[in-house]
Amino acid sequence: MLVEVRWHGRGGQGIVTVSRMLAQAALLDGKYVQAFPEFGPERRGAPVTGYTRISDEPIVIHSQIYDPHIVVVVDPTLIGSVNVTRGLVPKGLIVAHFDNSPGDLRKRLGSYDAKVYTVNAMRIALDILGRPIYNTAMLGALLRVAPLAKLDSLIKVIEERFPGPVGEKNIAVIKRAYEEVQGDE
């Protein structure tokens, strides 16, 4: 089965990085993957999207993603200004960085036929990294609610990409987000 994920964030928040790390982790699990940015020039601070496709079969399609199964919102300030649920398939998943409950987020998004999950990624990042870099937290939250890759595989990807203390701290961030993510069911 082909799963399509759309990432929402702002230029400079590591959206391309997480879209690729998810793909890298799935690759370690033997999956076929694609990860691509929103094509074109990059502008720091501007709303951006990133995309990941994961499948058990070779992926031959090369069009953009219009109807994702999962939307991950890395920057909470986008909610309300960017239509983050655009094209999301019915009964899809929304995993958002949001400091209130999934129920509150659902109210903000209006009625939508999707499962909603939230995690306070900023608090986790500040507690562990001491800096507001919360893209990796969203990877942890995502893998808890959608088993797109093994958590161990993601940890391996992080260890390889950021050897040493930076990697260790990011792994701690991922694990805590994995534990703390909440659903509205």
Q: Given the rule CB under 8 A, which residues bind other proteins?
A: 20, 23-24, 27, 31-37, 39-41, 59-64, 66
d(CA 69, CA 159): 28
The nearest distance, CB 16 to other proteins, in angstroms, is 9
Nearer to other proteins, 38 or 75 (CB): 38
The single residue listed with the structure tokens 């031959």 is: 60
The nearest distance, CB 33 to other proteins, in angstroms, is 6
At 49, the amino acid letter reads T
Give all strands (DSSP E) within the chain, no chain letters: 3-10, 32-37, 47-55, 70-73, 92-97, 114-119, 182-183
Q: Which tokens go with 101?
A: 């409950």
The nearest distance, CB 59 to other proteins, in angstroms, is 7
The nearest distance, CB 2 to other proteins, in angstroms, is 9
The nearest distance, CB 53 to other proteins, in angstroms, is 9
Nearer to other proteins, 86 or 108 (CB): 86
d(CA 174, CA 44): 24
Nearer to other proteins, 31 or 115 (CB): 31
Closest CA to 68 of 45, 101, 91, 98: 91
Nearer to other proteins, 16 or 121 (CB): 16
Nearer to other proteins, 41 or 90 (CB): 41
Angle at 109 between CA 104 and CA 115, to 5 degrees: 75
